[in-house]
Amino acid sequence: MAVTDHDHGHDAAVVPSRDDVVRRARHLNVATIAWNGTEGVVAVVAGVAAGSVSLVGFGFDSAIEVSAALILAWRLRKEQRGGCMQADDHRATRAIAVSFAILAVYVGVESIRALASGSEPEASVVGIVMASLSLVLMPVLARAKVALAPALGSAAAVADAKQTNLCALLSGVLLVGLSANAVLGWWWADPVAGVAIAGIAPAEARRTWLAEALEDTCCR
């Protein structure tokens, strides 16, 4: 019996409570907002200095990522105040879907404009370093968010994780484009890749908009 009690105690210790899961999700959300806020400012300033449309566009993408994180923060705060609310989660998910659509339009328009103008940006070491850091950090944050989503029963959390993954993808595109421009002089590399990203984002927007809510453990 002693062993069984010990086992039960051990199980209770390793299975997080819902409050603990919500707290972890909020910590990840704060980290997302802090990083993307900093990233956005750095990208816009470096982009203006280098005359890089892709860097400025990436900065605005970071602002959209912050908006998605703020939407999820609102959803988590609603839960802490009044219990888990499926209707609120649904609205939050739809709002994140809209942010995907906005991202698609912005990146697409700016990429095409850059290709049409033929403007050649200067090399940006700051942009390359920032894109590299984002490419490492964003997938880690996304995986952590996805791992918590089933326990939260939150489609909004899944949508936010997808937005973070898309940010990682954009970081990779930006890194390739900036590096190709700096090393090979291929100024057109990142706007071409940006057009491809703009084609991916609408599919994510539609999938997120039509997503069904996950089984909500707190609403049973």
Per-residue pLDDT of the chain (220 residues; tens, 9 = 90+): 444 545 554 444 556 677 788 788 888 888 888 998 999 999 999 989 988 888 888 888 888 778 778 877 877 777 666 655 667 767 777 887 888 888 788 888 888 988 888 877 888 999 999 999 999 999 998 888 888 877 777 677 777 788 788 888 888 888 998 999 899 989 888 788 788 878 887 887 887 787 655 444 444 4
**17-214, CATH topology level:** Alpha-lytic protease prodomain-like (1.20.1510)
Single-letter residue type at 46:
A
Which pTM was predicted? 0.73
Sketch the domain layout of the chain as residue ranges: 17-214
Beta-carbon count within 10 A of 149 CB: 19
pLDDT of the residue at 85: 61
pLDDT of the residue at 217: 41
d(CA 214, CA 158): 9
Residue 219's nearest CA partner among 155, 147, 146 is 155
pLDDT of the residue at 114: 84
Q: Is 94 left (phi over 0), alpha (psi -120 to 50) or beta?
A: alpha
